[in-house]
Amino acid sequence: MPKNAFHTWSSASREALTCLGLGLRDSRHAGLWWRSALGSIAVVLFWMWLYCRFAGFFQELSVVAALLGVGGLFSLGILDFGPGLASGPATLSNMGSVLNVHALAGLGQTLLAVAQVALAAIALVAFVYLLIFVACALGTLRVLAPWMYLRRAREVAGRRYPNWQVPAALPAARSGWRRFLALLALFIPVWAAIVVLRSLIAFSVRSLYAPAAAGLLDTDQQRALAEAQRPAIVILGLLLCLMMLVPVLNLLVPAVLCSSVCHLQRRGWMRAHPAASAI
């Protein structure tokens, strides 16, 4: 089982890297690169203006989200205020001597724990503040992608696969029972965090999967293919997130996203049809 999983994810990684490279290549065509660059700059400037115009609102939103996060960590017992406060209220026995060494040590640990929690809260506020900005910018680009980039990306990718055809059979999509079990797994704390993180990483690719296949595959075929390519979708989403950290290159992320999704779908279908090959 572990060997099969390793083979699956390693193969998915190679496929995602290949699709990312093909997406970078195709971004040079049909005006995708300059539309992507101008669109990215315009969206970032727009949200920077909103952040400056409504700075108080975004700061309060970040503080509330950070406080909820810190509260969640307290509820899980990951954070506490040390033995000085966790041991309960003071009693007459430990208030008898002001210079009690153990009491001072407990107070020192409590103050240190409070300082650590305060620093963690400040860092979490800053992280959430930036995360909201990135999420809003990406969400705006996602809304614009089908109209500004996806149609041209589909045309360019379609020319690479002249012999492509709709496959006769696809693996079955997940049943409703398996989806219900996956939903129940969200109640497991550590596993829930992994699932949520994986979903966030793959969101940009997964959200464009159906629009990229519109008119080529029906709804059931889209779901089946997306399920079969789920590891590659996650890896491709991770690579695109890393690409966003590279200056200048991150301006091409919208175009590369649309192009790489189109290549991922067509290459996935071609694995069942060896006669089709990219040119």
Judge contact between 89 and 96, C-beta under 8 A.
Answer: no
The residue segments making up the domain with residue 162 are 2-270
pTM attached to this predicted model: 0.69
- Is residue 187 situated within a structural domain? yes
- Is residue 65 situated within a structural domain? yes
Distance CA 209, CA 68 (A): 33
Distance CA 159, CA 156 (A): 5
In this predicted structure, what is the pLDDT of residue 131?
Answer: 77
Judge contact between 238 and 201, C-beta under 8 A.
Answer: yes
Distance CA 176, CA 63 (A): 38
Measured between its terminal Cα atoms, the distance across the chain in Å is: 36
Please list, residue by residue across 223-262, b when 16 or more beta carbons sit within 10 angstroms of its beta carbon and e when fewer do: bbbbebbbbbbbbbbbbbbebbeeeeebbbbbbbbbbbbb
Torsion angle of the four alpha carbons 60, 202, 238, 260, in this order, in degrees rounded to the nearest 10? -130
Number of structural domains in the chain: 1
DSSP 31: T
- Is residue 94 situated within a structural domain? yes
In this predicted structure, what is the pLDDT of residue 4?
Answer: 75
- Is residue 101 situated within a structural domain? yes
- Is residue 80 situated within a structural domain? yes
Q: Which two tokens stand for residue 212?
A: 């990229």
CB count within 10 Å of CB 178 equals: 11
**3-state DSSP helix/strand/coil % of the chain, to nearest 5:** 80, 0, 20
Under DSSP, is residue 272 helix (H, G, I), strand (E, B) or coil? Answer: coil
- Is residue 278 situated within a structural domain? no
**pLDDT beneath 50, residues of the chain:** 81-99, 270-279
Packed helices 253-270 and 230-243: angle between N→C axes, nearest 10 degrees: 160
**pLDDT tens per residue, range 160-211:** 888 777 666 666 656 566 667 667 766 776 666 677 778 878 888 888 988 9
Judge contact between 29 and 262, C-beta under 8 A.
Answer: no
Nearest-5° Cα angle at 82, 77 to 87 = 90
Torsion angle of the four alpha carbons 224, 227, 228, 233, in this order, in degrees rounded to the nearest 10? 130
- Is residue 134 situated within a structural domain? yes
